[in-house]
Amino acid sequence: MDTIATLWNADTPDAAEALLQTTAAKPLRLQNFVANEFYKASSSVDALESFNPRTGKVLVHVPSSSAADVDQAVDAAATAFPSWSRTPRQERARLLQKVAHLIQENKNLLAVWESIDQGKTLARAEAEVDRAATNFSYFAQFILAEEGTVRYVDGESPVMAYEHRSPAGVFGLITPWNMPLYLLTWKIAPCLAFGCVAVAKPSEVTSVTAFLLCEIFRQAKLPPGVINMVFGKGATAGSALVTSPKVRGVSFTGGVGTGIRIRQDTAADVGKHISLELGGKNPNLIFEDVEMGKAVRLAARAAFENSGQICLCGSRIYIHRSRYEEFLPAFVGYVKQNYICGGTLGPVVSREHYSKIRSYLALAQKESATFHLGSVPEEDPQGGYWIPPVVLTGLSQESRVIQEEIFGPVVTVSTFETEDEAIALANDNANGLAAVVMTNDVSRMRRVGERIDAGLVWANCWLVRELGTSFGGLKASGVGREGGVHSREVFTNLRTVHVPSSW
């Protein structure tokens, strides 16, 4: 069976469901994508099973790529690099715009399978497909209006000093399971735009849209080897990619533990570019002057979008004590009415992640937290990995439930008295990715926002992104920034050239 053709024809929810019924006994098998061709992984190890979060049944089989498979893809990328790195910006931009067009043209197909594979709602998946297309169109335009720096040194023979950038080489791009297509394209688009080539390894938990994206690259007629895709486990395929001496840069989004391992494994390769976007345990500060209805709606969205499986979710709510008694019942009632499993809320991504979230809820119960909404789910889920929204109070600031990233539909609510205390509570965490500040005082927005240890701060809004601004975190939330010129820093090498007017 031609897996790509079979999936390509199932571009509606009904068609996809019919396909899943016919393949239930023998799930489809994905393949690696190297030099514009689909290949079976060479490893003798059995393929990995990827499960449907809504049912708990096997969805597809994913290649368990070996180090040899990764080396094959890296070699293909290295072969393509000399030509691609010298390809004129106009041609690179044209090809990236073609990819953006094909993503938009196949929006229904990609959104249906993203929703099935990850568990997110179809509406959420559609928004992420739109963003995936925008990632390519944005960087296609960026490289056509790129600016540089030129300075002059006076003297007997004045010297022009200008900055010149060149593509860094082969990159390893490793992405997580929570926003599979969106985050994969966020890395591939700038990588290719700035003249680099890539081997991408998406999460083995959510690989379907990455597989479909390979066909889009082929239809766009990208040169062979410019972008390659290997599937498999992080400990094998991911590790081989990170440590390959031919890979001159790694851009990774995922957990702190894996980020630490990448830094350790690449420490001796001093010239290798490293960009790490890691975890978040983000605070949401609600001050006494807010309009309560707006605050409730924004806090709920920031906590429960994509079932809380977004690294930017505001899972720690701190509200001024004077508004706590008003906020809590309004918030619980709003969440109960508007975030419903099977409707506006999907399942969590996997059995493993379900068990992780459950362990934190069991800990909260052990620590005598109050469950205003939700409960500890059953240990052995039946019929998918569903966890209804949970709202907790009564936990100490030192609790692991408050300190550690749960990455699920779980939010804690605590109080503060003063502005300084709110900032101290927000910063009392190892992570520093994002934060939300709700207040009607513009001066406070700036005053508080500029003191929070977070790479992104939103005032009275959330998840708004202008793609030229920096994306990344402080403290344990990572190193490096991506977006606009910041992505250029990741994917290029910089040199200063000095040219005299005469000699």
Cite the active site residues: 277
Classify the phi-psi angles of 342: left when phi > 0, otherwise alpha if psi is within -120 to 50, otherwise beta. Answer: left
Please report the DSSP string for 38-68 in residue order.
Answer: EE-----SPPEEEE-TTT-SEEEEE----HH
**Alpha-carbon span 311 to 358, nearest angstrom:** 18
Separation CA 51–CA 60 (nearest Å): 7
Residue type, 43: S
Alpha carbons within 13 angstroms on the beta-carbon side of residue 79 total 12
Chain mean position to CA 232: 18
- Residue 164's H or E segment, with its range, is strand 159-167
**1 is written with which tokens?**
């069976």
How far from each other are the two terminal CA atoms of the chain, in whole angstroms? 69
> Could you give the CA distance from residue 335 to residue 324 in angstroms, rounded to a whole number?
16
Give me the half-sphere count of Cα atoms (radius 13 Å) on the Cβ side of residue 96.
31
Burial class (CB in 10 A: 0-12, 13-18, 19+), 396: exposed
For residue 120, give the nearest of 346, 350, 342 by alpha carbon.
Answer: 346
Give residue 371's Cα distance to chain centre.
Answer: 30
Q: Measure the CA–CA gap between 191 and 307, rounded to whole angstroms.
A: 30
Residues ≥6 apart with Cβ < 8 Å to 22: none
SS3 285: strand
Both tokens assigned to 366: 């052990």
Q: Which of 311, 281, 285 is nearest to 298 (CA)?
A: 285
